[in-house]
C-alpha cells in the first residue's frame, strides 16, 4: 500500500486564538495577545508526504513493514532566525 499527499496538511493545534497555551519562547502563558504563528513547509510537491506499507501473510501471521517520509503534523521545531515554530521533516520506519 502506498499513500501520497502532494501538499502538507498540518493538525489543528492550539494557537492562542481560542485557548491560552504555554509559549516556551516567552517562558509564560500566551493567548489571544500572542498567537502562535507557525511556518508551514514550502509549496505543492516540495512539501509532499509518502507512506508505505509492505505486508505478507505467513501461515496465520501477517508480517508488515512501514515507512513514512514527511513532516511532523504539529509545530514542534523552532526556526532560530525568525523565532517562529516550524514543522520539522520526519522519517519513520517500523515493523
Q: Determine the structural domain holding residue 45 and report its residue range.
A: 2-11+38-94
Q: Give the single-character DSSP code of 40.
A: P
pTM: 0.74
- How would residue 24 be classed by pLDDT, with cut points 50, 70 and 90? confident
Please state the length of the chain. Answer: 95
* 21 within some domain: no
* 57 within some domain: yes
* 47 within some domain: yes
* 17 within some domain: no
Total number of domains in the chain: 1
* 70 within some domain: yes
* 33 within some domain: no
- Report the C-alpha gap between 95 and 78 in whole angstroms: 30
CB burial of 83-95 (b: ≥16 within 10 Å; e: otherwise) equals eebbbeeeeeeee
Each residue of 38-86: pLDDT tens digit? 888 877 788 899 999 999 999 999 999 999 999 999 988 988 898 888 9
* 62 within some domain: yes
Q: Is the pLDDT of residue 36 over 80?
A: no
* 90 within some domain: yes
- Report the C-alpha gap between 71 and 81 in whole angstroms: 20
Amino acid at each position: 500500500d502506498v499513500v501520497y499527499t502532494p501538499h502538507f496538511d498540518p493538525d489543528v493545534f492550539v494557537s492562542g486564538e481560542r485557548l491560552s497555551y504555554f509559549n516556551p519562547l516567552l517562558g509564560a502563558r500566551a493567548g489571544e495577545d500572542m498567537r502562535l504563528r507557525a511556518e508551514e513547509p514550502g509549496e505543492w510537491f516540495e512539501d509532499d508526504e509518502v507512506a508505505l506499507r509492505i505486508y505478507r501473510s505467513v501461515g496465520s501471521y501477517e508480517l508488515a513493514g512501514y515507512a513514512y517520509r514527511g513532516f511532523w503534523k504539529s509545530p514542534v521545531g523552532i526556526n532560530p532566525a525568525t523565532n517562529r515554530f516550524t514543522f520539522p521533516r520526519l522519517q519513520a520506519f517500523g515493523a
